[in-house]
Structure 1
Amino acid sequence: MEIKKNPKSNLENYSKIFMQIGLVLALFVTYAAIEQKTYDKNIDAFADVVMSSEIEEDIPITERVEPVKPKTPPPPTPEKIEIVEDKTEVEETVIESTETDETEAVEVEEIVEVEEIEEVVEDVSFMIIEDVPVFPGCKGSKAELKSCFSKMVQKHFSRKFNADLPNELGLSSGKKRVFIGFKIDKQGNVVNINARAPHPKIKSEVIDVMKQLPKMKPGKQRGKPVGVKYSIPFTLIVE
């Protein structure tokens, strides 16, 4: 068979190349279209306006000038000076002397003598008395007299009290407390005897015993005899 065309001019030989070139161009166009960025168009109203530079003005520096006040002329001097007499009478104050004359009588108010009220000192406790009552036979300092007084009262009670009385009354065995209180008056007598005991008969016996205390030298407070209160507890042992 005879070939009519030149084999080089046959386009079918380049169809694959053209196809590849077309695909590459299509991909490039597609990529360019995707990557392209678009912006909104804004119209600037002041785009065409040209701002002129500010005009600088020179402001002169001024000083405040205060107006000068005119001086007022002094008042004119009078032609004649008139002397005006003072017609107001001034009353003179006369100061009278307060000194009395020998011939004048001086009144003296009557002087009333006020009697001094003697301070009454109430009864004082034996613990705070200045000078304690002195039991007959006690001697020494204040502390020794106080100790001797208590010992002699205890000795008197132990010797005079009936020790068999608690057993006779049928009290339960053990220790029984007895509280005694009395006062040594201003004359040294024992008065106002009180007692607290576990039985009325024991109380009566205690009072009778304390009434037998001898007369003492009274206690003193501020150098004056006063009543002195004294109290002492005793313990009775019941078998």
Structure 2
Amino acid sequence: MQIKKNPKANLENYSKLFMQLGLVLALLVVYLAIEKKTYDRIIGDLGPVVLNMDDEEQTIEIEQVKPPEPKTPPPPTPDKIEIVEDEEEIEETVIESTETDEDEAVEVEEIIEVEEEEEVMEDVPFAIIEDVPIYPGCKGNKAELRACLQDKITKHVNRKFNADLASDLGLAPGVKRIFVMFKIDKSGNITDVMARAPHKRLQEEAIRVVKSLPKMTPGKQRGRPVGVKYSLPIAFKVE
């Protein structure tokens, strides 16, 4: 009787497969061996170790203690104690009381009353004066009185100034300007008139016109009459 083998049990059929698996495993082992990182072991040279027991031990310094000095014996007590009388007399200081009796009269030096000096107020510019000088005929509140004063002074100068004087002086054509400064003093009078003009004759004419302004009610600062400084520009055209 012949024994038949199962074709699946024949290992020769799987020889190629086993060879391929072996090659794959071999390649895997070689790859892992190549990729594995290795490090060199470095052992530091510490050199020769010398143990010096003298350095580790602490040095303790011992100070010599001086023996205590012998105490000096106290002086011997005298046999007799003599009492010496103090011949000097002590003068007692008597402190007098500063309190006064109600019946006693106290003399008081004469009291001199010092009069307070009145504050002298200087001249105040027209731009910051509290109460402007009042031109004759002006009425109203502070703003109206200020505007009225300026208008009256301008009209007075235009009416009184001799404009023909400029042409007689032979000045070049154009606009000519004269700057006038004056003060309305504590009494309301026009004082300290000064002018600057392109010609002396024009300067004198401007001073004459300003001095002809009427007397006014003086301006006031903090309720007291003060001098008020006023500046007046005059412009006219010469043809």
Normalized against structure 2, the TM-score is what? 0.58
Structure 1 range deviating more: 133-142 or 215-224 = 133-142
1:177 Cα deviation (Å)?
A: 0.9
Following the alignment from structure 2 to structure 1, what is the Cα–Cα distance between the partners of residues 142 and 106? 61
Instruction: Report the Cα distance in structure 2 between the residues aligned to 1:98 and 1:211, rounded to whole angstroms.
Output: 72
Match of 1:226 in 2: 226
Instruction: State the Cα deviation string for residues 200-225 of structure 1 (Å, max 9, x = none).
Output: 11111111111211111100111111
Correspondence for 1:137: 138
The Cα offsets for residues 90-142 of structure 1, whole Å up to 9 and x where unpaired, read as xx998764321234331212211111111111111111111110113243234
| Partner Cα distance (2:213, 2:163) in 1 | 18
- The correspondence of residues 80-159 of structure 1 with structure 2, limited to 5 A, is 97-135=97-135, 136-142=137-143, 144-159=144-159
| CA–CA distance in structure 1, aligned partners of residues 102 and 187 of structure 2 | 59
User: What amino acid is aligned across from residue 125 of structure 1 in structure 2?
Assistant: P
Any idea what SS the aligned residue of 1:175 has? strand
Aligned residues: 178
Secondary structure, aligned partner of 2:193: strand
Cα distance change on mapping 1:233 and 1:138 into 2, 3 Å: farther
Counterpart secondary structure, 2:157: helix
The equivalent residue for 1:211 is: 211
In structure 2, the partner of 1:171 is 171
- 1:129-178 residue CA offsets vs partner (Å, 9 max, x unmatched): 11110113243234x22122111111111111112111111110011111
Q: Which residue of 1 aligns with 2:28?
A: none
Structure 2: give runs of 5+ residues left out of the alignment.
1-91
What is the CA–CA distance in structure 1 between the aligned matches of 2:159 and 2:200, rounded to whole Å? 20
Letter in 2 for 1:217: T
Q: Deviations over 1:5-35 (max 9, x none)?
A: xxxxxxxxxxxxxxxxxxxxxxxxxxxxxxx
**4+ residue segments displaced more than 4 Å:** 92-97
Report the structure number with the largest CA radius of gyration. Answer: 1
Q: Which residue of 2 aligns with 1:42?
A: none
**Counterpart code for 2:147:** S
**TM-score, normalized by length of structure 1?**
0.58
RMSD: 3.5
CA distance in 1 between partners of 2:140 and 2:161 (Å):
26
How high is the sequence identity, in percent, across the aligned residues? Answer: 62
Residues in 1 aligned to 2:154 and 2:215: alpha-carbon distance in whole angstroms? 16
Code of the residue aligned with 2:140 in structure 1: it is K
Mapped contact 1:182–1:191 kept (Cα < 8 A): yes
User: How far apart, in 2, do the equivalents of 1:178 and 1:138 lie?
Assistant: 29
Q: C-alpha distance in 2, partners of 1:139/1:208?
A: 30
Paired amino acid for 2:104: E
Letter aligned with residue 223 of structure 1: G
